[in-house]
Structures are given as structure tokens and as C-alpha cells.
Amino acid sequence: MGYDITFHPFSRKEFSYYIEDVIQAPSEYVSRLAKVHSDREEQAVLSANVYSRIGDFIEEVKMGDSAYEQTVGLAITAILGYLHPYWYARGGMLSALKTYPEFKSIFKEISSIAREETRFLFDQAHNQIIGNYSSGTYVPYENIGALKMLLEDEKNHSIVEETIGDYNKESLLNCLEYCLINRLDLLEAADIFIPATGEVSTYYPNARAPHLNNIMNFENNSKKSSDLTTILEEECPRCLGKGHVDWDDIKRLKQELRWRPGRCAYCNGTGKVEATQIEKVAVDNTYLTTTRSEKERNLLLNNDTDTLEKGALLEQKTETFIEEVKYLHFIGQLSPSQIIDFYAIQFKDNKVGVAWKSDMLQYIEKIITKE
């Protein structure tokens, strides 16, 4: 095991903002680059090596030409090194602990925190070091405390010695402590920081390593310009911080006829929103759903008049439709399938798809039984 391993703390908000937004729309890297670091020279390096290449990396992974770990995965850890201190462990591989039953449940798939639109990519991850220059395993914040306890447990001494190494253990433990204090997840990487050759593909001032005598230094030297932890501070009132909307939320907000369970569009799946958003956009805004594009979402959140009008119009159309169905059923005495036939008139030769019909039937039945 000759890898130069680093452990990278990060928050899910950062993952969403600095990583997933760019994966979803690679041209967004320009705006994120400006936020990652205030220094132009550092920005240029990070752009050339990592951020501007993410679009190509995604294509390579999609085509099967490159492994996720050695392109996108590695790029992610490089970006994370700009956001938080990271801890070095020569040959101390966290991935190696995955094979031990005692440790197995600690590790999760990185796709488990991905939003729907980016999951196709994170599904390609092996969630462990696959060779040189590779991202590694992922530990969610919820499991950091348990991992720390397992590492410190005398019973596991030989396992830890074998995989992490006694020399590296303190480095890893300090990283976990930092994660606990700041409520952060952790991602592993190989060869992003190589002291022997001086090769550093991430932000050097954030390096913590035994040979640097600074593993207990928790100061974040990041020069990111926006601190997401202070911007996004309110619990999302739509999903109550879960990141996804379930039937209970839908009932609470009286949107049974309009929404389905899924990722929360109000907070974009992060569980938190800016305090100002709650004042600007109603939590039960019918139009703000995951079917809107990122661009429309932003327009809506910024109170763009056209988008607001479009939203109001759609809301009105939905209300009209609900009233029509009620009328056709309760006054006109039509059955749900007759109501479907009625709405099929607008299509050429009344031809409609099976999926449309079954969707429609469900919807109509919901409207009728709600009365």
C-alpha cells in the first residue's frame, strides 16, 4: 500500500453548491471558481486542472473511457481541499477498512447524497481507492463518531495497524474530530498530495500531516468567498430539513392534488434555505417543483416577473382543472373513465398513451375521493 492518502472533510451544502451544480451544468464552474478562492492565480490553476475539465470528465466516464474515481472523483477531492483542511496519511487507506465486518456499515455510497440529476454519475463510483490518483471511500457525518470509536477501540488494534497504520492513526483521528466539530462528511483520496515529490493538486495551506507537525491545527485556511454555513441557515420549511418531500409534508401544505413525494425543490434537497428565500417565495408555491429547470428555479427565487406570472397561470390552470373534474363527476355524473375520454377530445383522433391515461385516472380519482 504505497498510496499517498488524504482525508477530505466537506459539508453536503458544499457538495451541492461546488460540485453537483457544476456536474449538472458544467458551465457553472465559472461562478463557482470565483467563490472557491479569492486569489486569481489559484483560480487559474484550479480551473485548468479541475473545474473547466469536469464536463469532459463526465463524458469520459459516460463513454466508459475513464473510471469515475480517477476523473470526477479526484477532481472533487481537489476542490474540497480548497474548502477545508485535509489530513495526510502515508499508505493509511480508509478504503481498506471496508472489508472488515466491524467497519463495513460505516461506509456509504457517495450516490446516497447525490441529487436525482447527478446520480447517474455517482452511481459509477466504486467508493474506494482503485489505484493511483483516485478518489476513495465516503463516510457520512452520521457515522463519523462511530468510526472514531471503532478506531480507538483496543479490540480493533491489529485491523487498524494493518490498514491505517499506527503512525497515521492520529492524523485520521484529528480529521474525524474536525468533522465532528463542524458536522462534516469525509471523502478519501489518493495522490492528490504527494510530499515526497512536492506534487500538490489541491490547496497546500490546508494540508495537515504528521511530517508537517500540524495535525492538531483545526484552522481553516480556505479563501472561499462565501461561507455557505452562514448563508444557508434556516431549516427548509417545506421538507422540514429532510431534503425530500413526503406525503405528510404534502398533506401539511395541502398540495395532495399537485405534488408527489420526491426531492424537495424548495431547498434543492439540502434541507436548508437562505432566510431571505422564505420571505421571497411562499413555501407552498405550487410552481416551484423539481420539474422546473435550474434556470427557472433561480428566476423564481429572484422574483422574476415573467416566471412568477407563468407560475400563477399554471396554478390557476390547475385549479380550473380540479373544479372541472368535480363538476363533470358530481354534477355531470360522469365516471372517471368518461372524464378521461372527455379530456382526450383535445388530442388528434382521441389518441392518448397508456401512461397518460393511468396518470390521469389516478389524479381524477384523487380529486373525486378528496371531496
Residue 328 sits in the site that holds Zn ion (CB under 5 A) = no
Whichever of 8 and 238 has its CB closer to Zn ion, that residue is: 238
Shortest Å, Cβ 290 to Zn ion: 11
C-alpha cell at 30: 465559472
Residue 8 bridge partners (DSSP): 187
Residue 144 sits in the site that holds Zn ion (CB under 5 A) = no
Residue 259 sits in the site that holds Zn ion (CB under 5 A) = no
> Quick one: angle between helices 40-49 and 74-83, nearest 10?
160
What character string, x for contact with Zn ion (CB under 5 A) and - otherwise, covers 195-234?
A: ----------------------------------------
Q: How far apart are the first and last CA of the chain?
A: 66
Hey, is 134 helix, strand or coil? Answer: strand
Shortest Å, Cβ 13 to Zn ion: 12
Residue 7 sits in the site that holds Zn ion (CB under 5 A) = no
Q: Which listed range, 1-9, 14-22, 166-174, 237-245, lies at the site for Zn ion (CB under 5 A)?
A: 237-245
Determine contact, residues 239/264, Cβ cutoff 8 Å: yes
Distance in angstroms (rounded) separating the CA atoms of residues 339 and 215: 69
Shortest Å, Cβ 211 to Zn ion: 44
* DSSP letter string, 177-228: HHHHHHT-EEEEEESSEETTTTEESS-GGGEE-GGGT-TT--------S--H
Q: Which listed range, 28-36, 159-167, 265-273, 356-364, lies at the site for Zn ion (CB under 5 A)?
A: 265-273
Whichever of 130 and 239 has its CB closer to Zn ion, that residue is: 239
Whichever of 12 and 238 has its CB closer to Zn ion, that residue is: 238
List the one residue from 264, 301, 328, 340 that touches Zn ion (CB under 5 A): 264
Determine contact, residues 38/99, Cβ cutoff 8 Å: no
Q: Please enumerate in sequence order all residues whose Cβ is within 8 A of that of 130, keeping only pairs 6 or more positions apart, or say none.
A: 67, 69, 70
C-alpha cell at 212: 508537517
Whichever of 206 and 270 has its CB closer to Zn ion, that residue is: 270
List the one residue from 79, 172, 239, 300 that touches Zn ion (CB under 5 A): 239
| # binding residues, Zn ion (CB under 5 A) | 6
Residues that bind Zn ion (CB under 5 A): 236, 238-239, 264, 266-267
